[in-house]
Amino acid sequence: MKDFSIFLFGVITYLLLIESQSCAADSVNPCCYYPCQNSGVCVRFGADGYRCDCTRTGYYGDNCTTPELWSRVRAMLRPRPAAIHYFLTHFQWFWDFINSCFLRDTFMTLVLTVRSELIPSPPTYNTKYGYLSWESYINISYYTRLLPPVPEDCPLPMGTKGKSVLPEPNVLAERFFKRKKFRPDPQGTNLMFSFMAQHFTHQFFKTNHDVQAGFTKALGHGVDASNIYGDDLVRQHQLRLHEDGKMKYQVVDGEMYPPTVSDVPVHMVYPKGFPPERQLAIGQEFFGIVPGLTMYATLWLREHNRVCDILKAEHPTWDDEQLFQTTRLIIIGEIINIIIEDYVQHLSGYLFKLKFDPSLLFGERFQYSNRIALEFCQLYHWHPLMPDSFLIDGDQIPYSQFMYNTSVLLHYGVEKLVDAFSRQPAGQIGGGQNSHEAVLKVAEMVIRESRATRVQPFNEYRKKFNLEPYASFQELTDDADMANALEELYGDIDALEFYPGIMLEKAHSSSIFGESMVEMGAPFSLKGLLGNPICSPHYWKPSTFGGETGFNIVKTSTLKKLVCLNTKWCPFVDFHIPRKEEESQRKESSSEL
pLDDT in tens, 422-432: 999 999 999 99
Task: Grade residue 195 by pLDDT with cuts at 50, 70 and 90.
Answer: very high
Residues in the chain, total: 593
* pLDDT at position 587: 56
| pLDDT tens, residue by residue, 160-179 | 999 999 999 999 999 999 99
pLDDT at 509: 87
Write b or e for each residue in 469-498: b if 16 or more Cβ atoms lie within 10 A of its Cβ, otherwise e.
ebeebbebbebeebbebbbebbbbbbbbbb
- What is the tens place of the pLDDT at every residue in 419-477? 999 999 999 999 999 999 999 999 999 999 999 999 999 999 999 999 999 999 999 99
Q: Are 216 and 210 in contact (CB under 8 A)?
A: no
**Longest CA span, the chain:** 109
β partners of residue 45: 49
Query: Contact, 369 vs 121, CB < 8 A?
Result: yes
pLDDT above 70 covers what percent of the chain? 93
pLDDT at 1 > cutoff 60: no
Over residues 69-107, the pLDDT tens digits come to: 999 999 999 898 889 999 999 999 999 999 999 999 999
- State how far the Cα of 545 lies from the Cα of 584, in Å rounded to an integer: 44
Residue 64 in contact with residue 43, Cβ under 8 Å? no
CB 416 within 8 A of CB 112: no
Q: How confident is the model at residue 588 (pLDDT cuts 50, 70, 90)?
A: low
**pLDDT tens digits for range 298-327:** 999 999 999 999 999 999 999 999 999 999
pLDDT on residue 401:
95
In single-letter form, the type of residue at position 528 comes to G
Contact 208, 231 (CB under 8 A): no
4-63 pLDDT, tens digit per residue, is 444 444 444 443 333 333 334 468 999 999 999 999 999 999 989 999 999 999 999 999
* Residue 84: Cβ-neighbour burial (10 angstroms; 0-12, 13-18, 19+): middle
Average pLDDT over residues 133-158: 94
pLDDT at 441: 95
Is pLDDT at 208 greater than 80 in this prediction?
yes
Cα–Cα distance measured from residue 316 to residue 533, given in angstroms and rounded to the nearest whole number? 27
Instruction: Report phi then psi at 362, rounded to 5.
Output: -65, -25
**Separation between Cα atoms, residue 491 and residue 470, nearest integer Å:** 14
Residues with catalytic roles: 202, 380
Work out the pLDDT band at 127, boundaries 50, 70, 90.
confident
Q: What is the pLDDT of residue 17?
A: 39
Strands 250-252 and 41-45 come out as unpaired
d(CA 544, CA 459): 44
Give the span between the Cα atoms of 244 and 240, in whole angstroms: 10
- Range name among 21-35, 286-300, 335-349, 403-417 with the lowest pLDDT average: 21-35
The pairs formed by 309-315 with CB atoms below 8 angstroms and a separation of 24 or more are 309/244, 310/549, 310/550, 310/553, 311/245, 311/546, 311/549, 311/550, 312/244, 312/245, 314/546, 314/547, 314/549, 315/546
pLDDT in tens, 243-284: 999 999 999 999 999 999 999 999 999 999 999 999 999 999
pLDDT tens-place string over residues 482-538: 999 999 999 999 999 999 999 999 999 889 999 999 999 999 999 999 999 999 999
Q: Are 585 and 387 in contact (CB under 8 A)?
A: no
Among 186, 133, 197, smallest CA distance to 428 is for 186
What distances in angstroms separate CA 228 from CA 205, 231, 285, 423, one per listed residue?
14, 9, 10, 26
Query: How far does CA 492 lie from the centroid of its chain?
Result: 27
Nearest residue to 532 (alpha-carbon basis) of 368, 292, 390, 383: 368
Residues 178-192: tens digit of each pLDDT: 999 999 999 999 999
pTM beyond 0.75 = yes
At position 325, the amino acid (one-letter code) is Q
